[in-house]
């Protein structure tokens, strides 16, 4: 008997249909194939081949658009949105449109072409997260921007067009609809319970354990109760915080570890699949723009988190046509598989050192 489960964040239902067939046959386990960096414009030394940099972490005295940087942010050459201009909201008969004002930036995570985020050192991961935060905070100053979305596409199967390790940032003059749904769910839950929905999820999951993938002092990653896709994974700060960019330096260390370990578990378990992750953080203007409720603020009821989607199943179009999903693998089993893969890798590393680990994907050792 399959079951229907409801996601308290989106209020969408999913069908867990494990008996449908042996789960392996529903899956596409194609590891990401990476091209060599011969003509890669993101590689160190080719700074002149990209648009001029917005900012970079580089040694004191080093000039923009020269080598020596460790993380570098540039405008997306093929940007979907542009920073110059006014919004110019206007109608077209009954329809609404506005200019494509916004920001579309590329965060190049390292000068080297072959890095793999799941195997970053903790220091490298902290640097990348620090750049996320720096760009996020800078764009928060632009009053036209309502929502900032940082995301990462890994592998062509997940929509990446270049293999060089990079993330993307899009700043939007609107709040995406599913973010609005999250905000409304969070508000409704808070009004009912006077507690944060996400804090309650974290509390139940860390007690229950079955869906936990990785946990440290500050963060926990879980397979959500109503996972839309196999191995969908959410990463939460355990302490309530609405805005990703307010993560403290103390917390950054735990976040870097939790994100890297979670990605490592996925990479090991699923043979380096393509994946996407998206940081869900509070929109800047949500409290008075969207909800107009004087008694609850966005600081109280929203809780930032990261959603990770390994691309291991083919999505039938009706699923993104209706918001109604059939998942052939329970989150409990997915979490068990991920924990087992992580433990197997860790004990291999501990026994014999990084060189004993599987040669592909590129190994940079466990961060510690």
Residues 113, 119, 122, 123, Cα dihedral to 10°: -10
Cβ distance to its own copies smaller for residue 69 or 325:
325
Cβ distance to its own copies smaller for residue 181 or 239:
181
Note if the bond before 361 is cis, omega within 30 degrees: yes
Cβ distance to its own copies smaller for residue 150 or 264:
150
Measured in whole angstroms, the distance separating CA 161 from the mean position of its chain's CA atoms is: 17
H or E segment at 172? strand 166-172
Cβ distance to its own copies smaller for residue 68 or 323:
323
All residues at 6 or more sequence positions from 160 whose CB lies less than 8 Å from its CB, including other chains: 153, 154, 274
Calpha distance 104→87 (Å, rounded): 16
The residues of the shown chain that bind its own copies, judged by CB under 8 A, are 1-6, 8, 10-13, 15-17, 20-21, 78-82, 85, 92-100, 149, 151, 153, 156-159, 172-174, 176-179, 181, 200-201, 204, 208, 225-226, 275-276, 278, 307, 309, 311, 314-318, 320-324, 326
242 is catalytic: no
> CB of 235 within 8 A of CB of 201?
no
Parallel, antiparallel or unpaired: strands 305-310 and 166-172: unpaired
Sign, Cα dihedral of 173, 73, 137, 8: positive
Least CB distance to its own copies at residue 172 (A): 7
Calpha distance 168→262 (Å, rounded): 20
What are the helix (H) ranges across 195-247? 197-208
Least CB distance to its own copies at residue 131 (A): 18
Least CB distance to its own copies at residue 57 (A): 25
Least CB distance to its own copies at residue 251 (A): 24
Cβ distance to its own copies smaller for residue 1 or 63:
1
Read off the tokens for 359. Answer: 């040669």
- Options 104, 166, 242, 305, the catalytic residue: 166
Least CB distance to its own copies at residue 66 (A): 28
Least CB distance to its own copies at residue 175 (A): 9
Calpha distance 194→363 (Å, rounded): 46
Q: Is 258 helix (H, G, I), strand (E, B) or coil?
A: helix
In 3D space, the residue among 256, 262, 212, 220 whose CA is nearest the CA of residue 238 turns out to be: 220
What are the helix (H) ranges across 120-276? 122-140, 177-193, 197-208, 249-269
The catalytic residues are: 166
């Amino acid at each position: 008997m399959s079951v229907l489960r409801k996601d308290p964040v989106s209020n969408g239902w999913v069908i867990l249909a494990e008996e449908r067939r042996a789960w392996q046959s529903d899956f596409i386990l194609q590891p990401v194939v990476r091209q060599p960096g011969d003509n890669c414009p993101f590689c160190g030394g080719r700074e002149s081949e990209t648009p001029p940099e917005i900012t970079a972490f580089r040694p004191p005295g080093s000039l923009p658009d020269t080598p020596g940087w460790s993380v570098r942010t540039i405008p997306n050459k093929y940007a979907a949105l542009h920073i110059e201009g006014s919004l110019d909201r206007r109608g077209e008969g009954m329809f609404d449109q506005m200019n494509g004002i916004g920001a579309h930036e590329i965060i190049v995570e390292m000068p080297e072409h072959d890095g793999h985020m799941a195997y970053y050192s903790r220091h490298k991961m902290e640097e990348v997260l620090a750049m996320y935060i720096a760009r996020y905070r800078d764009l928060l100053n632009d009053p036209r921007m309502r929502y900032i979305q940082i995301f990462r596409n890994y592998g062509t199967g997940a929509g990446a067009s270049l293999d060089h390790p990079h993330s993307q940032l899009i700043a939007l003059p609107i709040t995406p609809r599913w973010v609005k749904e999250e905000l409304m769910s969070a508000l409704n839950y808070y009004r009912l319970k006077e507690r944060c929905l996400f804090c309650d999820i974290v509390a139940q999951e860390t007690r229950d354990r079955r869906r936990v993938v990785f946990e440290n002092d500050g963060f926990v990653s879980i397979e959500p109760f109503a996972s839309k896709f196999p191995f969908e994974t959410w990463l939460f700060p355990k302490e309530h915080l609405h805005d990703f960019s307010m993560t403290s330096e103390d917390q950054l260390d735990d976040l870097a570890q939790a994100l890297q370990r979670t990605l490592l578990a996925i990479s090991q378990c699923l043979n380096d699949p393509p994946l996407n992750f998206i940081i869900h953080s509070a929109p800047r203007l949500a409290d008075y723009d969207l909800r107009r409720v004087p008694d609850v603020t966005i600081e109280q009821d929203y809780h930032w988190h990261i959603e990770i989607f390994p691309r291991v199943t083919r999505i039938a179009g009706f699923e993104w046509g209706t918001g109604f999903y059939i998942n052939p693998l329970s989150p409990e089993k997915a979490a068990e598989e991920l924990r087992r893969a992580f433990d197997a890798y860790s004990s291999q590393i501990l026994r014999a050192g990084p060189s004993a680990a599987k040669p592909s994907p590129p190994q940079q050792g466990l961060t510690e």
